[in-house]
Amino acid sequence: MNNLIYKDLCNIEKSVNSINMLSPYVGKMRPELAKYLVKNYAKEDGYIYDPFLGSGTVLFEGWCQRYNVVGTDLNYYAYVLSMGKLYPYPDENTAQQVLQKYKSKVERKALQYNISDTPTWVKDFFHEETLKEIYSWVYYLKKNKEWFILSCLLGILHHQRPGFLSYPSSHGAPYLRSSMFPKEDFPKMYEYKNVYEKLSSKIHRSYKNVQVFDFTINREVFNKDSTKIKLHQQHIPTIITSPPYMKSLTYARDNRLRLWFLGVGDWISLDKKISPNKMVFTEMMTKCFNSWGRIQNQGDKCVIVIGDIDISYKSVKMPLSDMLVNISRKNYNCIEAYQDPIPESKKVVKGNNSIKREIIVVLERK
């Protein structure tokens, strides 16, 4: 067994890009960490691949550093959000013009929208007229693949701040805060919200800090199983990813309201697929290392970001990072390992102390 020695991660430059803030995603990689890993381990003139792309942070930071990028995720919300980040409009003015194009269509559809089949748990979050408008906006944006604006809409779906669409609730995972903000004391928080106005403001905030994008660079996103997908690229010199480790996070449950509007009502079944238990996780990662070994050449890098938790592997309790190094040893050598504490301010689910630091394992293809 390995007993990895972790170095402290240092000299990380802050990544300031408002596109990264389109919509929350539990357990997402910090943009500055993704930027650091791309800068230090990605090979020039090659693709960066993220097999568990989540909110698309690795691909977005790779694109910003002028790398071709490709990624996949089984979570449809992850796919939509990543498409929104990787296919923004060139500037705010263009985005606002696209938004305006759908305004009258949405208003007409909202007048006729029937919400009688909407489950009570969804209705509980919204004023009736706001809910009709949300459905109508999702219909046109999804139909026409306006991923950026759709991601903006998902980003303002629920919170207690004025710029959001729901009754007072949490932002990361959808929980009502009616006891904290009772309707009789905070009546304005329960009034109708004009979705067009809130979306326009969200778009404005999203372009507050952006760089000039190079739209000639290849960006590919797939809503597929990373253990089964066959990429058309024959060689991927850099893999940077954070796999979903052993039900420590519930990606579908925490995004169940966003998934509902995207047409995914059965978040329980989805969670079983994208938040695997220990046995399934080990099998999944074994398959991944074998398939990644076929698309990487000697000296290529595979960087894994994982939570600092223990696992029982071959009847021995060890850190999860050590287990990953062991199951990858057929094709990879571990050349570096880092520790990176997770500050409370960066957690989507506040007070979650089950994982206090992330471990970064850098593997090199034999």
And the tokens for 164? 């959001």
Query: Which residues, 6+ apart, have CB-to-CB distance to 170 below 8 Å?
Result: 158, 159, 177
- What's the chain's Rg over C-alpha atoms? 21
Q: Which two tokens stand for residue 4?
A: 């990895």
- CA dist., res. 96 & res. 149, Å (int): 9
7-83+218-365: which CATH number, 3.40.50.150, 1.10.4160.10, 2.60.40.2470, 3.40.250.10? 3.40.50.150
Q: Per-residue pLDDT for the chain (366 aa), expressed as one digit of tens each?
A: 457 778 888 778 777 899 999 999 988 899 999 999 999 999 988 999 999 999 999 999 999 999 999 999 999 999 999 999 999 999 999 999 999 999 999 999 999 999 999 999 999 999 999 999 999 999 999 999 999 999 999 999 999 999 999 999 999 899 999 999 999 999 999 999 999 999 999 999 999 999 889 999 999 999 999 999 999 999 999 999 999 876 667 899 999 999 999 999 999 999 988 888 888 899 999 999 999 999 999 999 999 999 888 888 888 888 899 999 999 999 999 999 999 887 655 544 444 556 678 899 999 999
What phi-psi label fits residue 221: left (phi over 0), alpha (psi between -120 and 50 degrees) or beta? beta
Task: Give the DSSP H or E segment for 157.
Answer: none
Rounded Cα distance between 98 and 83, Å, is 16
Instruction: Show me where the domains of the chain are located.
Output: 7-83+218-365, 92-206
Please give the model's pTM, rounded to 2 decimal places: 0.93
The pLDDT tens digits for 302-356 are 999 998 888 888 888 888 999 999 999 999 999 999 998 876 555 444 445 566 7
Q: How far apart are CA 164 and CA 82, in angstroms?
A: 21
DSSP per-residue codes, 254-310:
GGHHHHHHTT---HHHHHHHHS--HHHHHHHHHHHHHHHHHH--TT-EEEEEEES-E
